[in-house]
Amino acid sequence: MDTYDFNLRKINTSNIYSYFLSHLDVTKQDLAAGLNLTLPTVTKNIDYLLDLGLIEISGSRGQTGGRRAITYSLLSEAKLALGLDITRHHVACVAVDLNGRIISFKRNRLPFEHSDEYFKKVSELQQEFIESSGIDHGRILGVGIGIPALVKADTRSLFYSEIIDLREDTYDMFLKYISFDISLYNDANAASFAEKWVNKDLQNSFYIMLSNNVGGAMILNGQVYTGNNFRAAEVGHITLIPHGRQCYCGRAGCVDPYLAATNLSQDDLAGYFENLRTTTDEKLLNNWNQYLDYIALTVNNIRELLDCDIILGGYVGAYLEPYLEEIKKRTLRLSTFDTDSDFIKLCSYKNESIAAGAALHYISKFIETI
């Protein structure tokens, strides 16, 4: 077989597999018509995917009495990827399937510290998670780890970790105790990857991660834009209020100390937003009112600069639905060019987007190999 045939076969297989990712109960005829392929080509590929255990016979379709066509479906749990989200006080574990669905997740309280005991404990928590979720080790593609630090393209080397004490040997420390392939990802980039997974047609957009720290990620022409030094989109350190609140980076007045979720609640955002619906506490309402203004200011700055969709995500983003119209109104008031505010969107991945996004890198790489 020459290279041309090999490539063509690979493209056909990959297209057929992608078709299964977005359709249930597919017949050979559906594939032939939908992808413009001959039936023998479809049959060869179906046999190949059945052999790999990536699809299964799901039933049949057609007229009673006539010849019924066999239907096939994706075995979405044939492979799984795990994700971890490492924060100051917690470690979240998720498992995602080949459709990108979170099939299991657990958040554990475990304060970060740079010690053997910590990394060992993370591995134990993950092992417990694997067992309680009933996941077979052989199906695990790898573990994506989202961290509050900047990470280079090799997904091993990290730099600028001012939020928690992640050191240069973080990758090796995880590897020492975790027996799967592992990769490190910047938290906001991981979350935006999850967002891109759900919204495949995202072309130009900016994701603001409103979590206990504020991060950002930029998708340019459908790809994550990382900048010349892997520190693009760090919206948390744009100056919002000159000489304002102290930021952990050492400067004052950055976006981070104004929009970090900890401005609203130290560790119970669900409770905070529940309370916000009915409270008459003036101090709390003023604080929230100010927070909304800071969001509007930040969103408007990004919009003026990039002219793209802006997605509000992170821990806070998951609760903003009832306040979206207000945020839009306040942003429009600041805008030089915009007359409508449809460009402001809420994240689609409401929970555990960092851990899921880190895991999805493995799913994405696996699908590319088919």
Which residues here bind Zn ion, judged by CB under 5 A? 237, 247, 249, 251, 254
* Cβ at position 239, least distance to Zn ion in Å: 9
Contact criterion met (CB below 8 Å) for 94 and 83: yes
| Helix and strand element counts for the chain (H, E) | 12, 14
Nearer to Zn ion, 12 or 213 (CB): 213
Pairwise CA distance, residues 167 & 154, whole Å: 16
Nearer to Zn ion, 237 or 328 (CB): 237
Nearer to Zn ion, 137 or 231 (CB): 231
Nearer to Zn ion, 139 or 251 (CB): 251
Displacement of CA 191 from its chain's centroid (Å): 3
Pairwise CA distance, residues 126 & 137, whole Å: 12
Nearer to Zn ion, 34 or 244 (CB): 244
Nearer to Zn ion, 301 or 364 (CB): 301
* Cβ at position 249, least distance to Zn ion in Å: 3
* Cβ at position 53, least distance to Zn ion in Å: 49
Instruction: Provide CB contacts within 8 A for 278, sequence distance 6+.
Output: none
Contact criterion met (CB below 8 Å) for 349 and 195: yes
CA distances from 33 to 16, 60, 130 (A): 12, 18, 40
Residue found under tokens 């019924």: 68
Instruction: Provide CB contacts within 8 A for 80, sequence distance 6+.
Output: 95, 96, 97, 98, 103, 135, 139, 140, 141
* Cβ at position 214, least distance to Zn ion in Å: 9
* Cβ at position 15, least distance to Zn ion in Å: 46
Nearer to Zn ion, 31 or 254 (CB): 254
Pairwise CA distance, residues 166 & 88, whole Å: 10
* Cβ at position 92, least distance to Zn ion in Å: 25
Nearer to Zn ion, 160 or 225 (CB): 160
> Which residue pairs from 252-258 have beta carbons closer than 8 angstroms and sit at least 24 positions apart in sequence?
255/214, 255/294, 255/298, 256/213, 256/214, 258/291, 258/294
* Cβ at position 23, least distance to Zn ion in Å: 46
* Cβ at position 237, least distance to Zn ion in Å: 4
Specify the DSSP element, H or E, that contains 89: none
Residue 82 in tokens:
């795990």
Pairwise CA distance, residues 342 & 340, whole Å: 6
Radius of gyration (Cα) for the chain, nearest Å?
23
Nearer to Zn ion, 52 or 252 (CB): 252
* Cβ at position 207, least distance to Zn ion in Å: 18
Closest C-alpha among 237, 202, 205 to residue 312: 205
Nearer to Zn ion, 216 or 357 (CB): 216
DSSP 254: B
Amino acid at 188: A
* Cβ at position 246, least distance to Zn ion in Å: 9
